Structure 1
């Protein structure tokens, strides 16, 4: 059975990773029943840890500084309980070179789409480069999941996005879906939050 502290950690962490999300998105991403998520978000709002914003028909939660600070405290406790700080630091170090590779590939693709930049690239080349980074991450993910199971699934989600990107380029960098860039962005934020760091 998931404890209230676990729910609090998962909900705050999920809001941080997603950046801005409604209750249903938080529930789906965290794997927590909607009723538990609703209660945790209302409690966090009352404590000044999250804030609700509404833009026309779209509304969502985002973390306050207090929520970010508490989330990092809870994540540090989780990391210490797992005895995995050294392992996560090692993964983050290896991740940095992959992150540069992914960032560069996405930037070149965006410039190509806009018809600017000196290094035009094709969709196939972009997907292949992102896939190489993804395969390298898969090895790191397997190691990380042994200590922190919540890291499972990033490679699967990235691969699904890249499969769609082969015929629909919007799946490379679009922000309105689980594109390759969005999945990678969430992964990066997950690693940073786990170690109490910012971009």
Structure 2
């Protein structure tokens, strides 16, 4: 049976994988009680684990170095205590083997090189260019189901990434190009990068660091 992580771990972890998030966003990430989350966030601020930041008209909580280390220790202990390490490592290997394809798809969605400009922005008026990108994302969408099934079968907090990716892709297929790489929305790229951060955090890895 998958293990349910405690609310105090999930609250701190939500800040980690979101990068910056307000109380509402932290609570929504794992479906936690907003009142409990608000109390925990104030406690974590008092402990020096998170700090409040404002940037370009938006604001939220972000981890301090102390909070980053606290999150890392809690996640490591959870893997040890639950025996979920093998499943998470298997899920990460499967994710890594597809990560380059996702990056390529996102690049091709954002850029459409021309003879005059190899970095020309894709205006999405050329369906012949965009169609292979959507097909690539559609294949990744199907493959992500198996990855998330493996991960969520061990730790329930990994559930939902495939559903969110599929929902974003459905918007793209309905004609809204922003949902491939859009920022500030649950786009395909946002969901994928959040899962990547979640896996790195859970396994205690830095980006680009090989898994032992």
Deviation at 1:8, TM superposition (A): 2.0
The equivalences for 1:83-162 within 5 A come to 83-112=83-112, 116-117=118-119, 122-162=129-169
Q: Deviations over 1:90-123 (max 9, x none)?
A: 22112111111101110121122996349x8733
Deviation at 1:56, TM superposition (A): 6.0
The corresponding residue for 1:42 is 42
Q: Deviations over 1:30-56 (max 9, x none)?
A: 211111111111111111111101236
Q: Deviations over 1:5-31 (max 9, x none)?
A: 922210111011111111001111121
Deviation at 1:170, TM superposition (A): 0.5
The answer (yes or no) to whether the contact 1:50–1:64 under 8 Å persists in 2 is yes
The answer (yes or no) to whether the contact 2:88–2:150 under 8 Å persists in 1 is no
User: RMSD over aligned Cα, in angstroms?
Assistant: 2.0
Question: TM-score of the superposition, structure 1-length normalised?
Answer: 0.90
Question: TM-score of the superposition, structure 2-length normalised?
Answer: 0.85
The answer (yes or no) to whether the contact 1:21–1:59 under 8 Å persists in 2 is yes
Structure with a larger share of its residues in helix: 1
Aligned with 1:195 (options 171, 188, 203):
203
Deviation at 1:57, TM superposition (A): 4.3
- 2-side partners of 1:55 and 1:87: how far apart? 37
**Matched pairs, number:** 194
Unpaired runs of at least 5, structure 1: none
Q: Give the SS at the match of 1:122.
A: helix
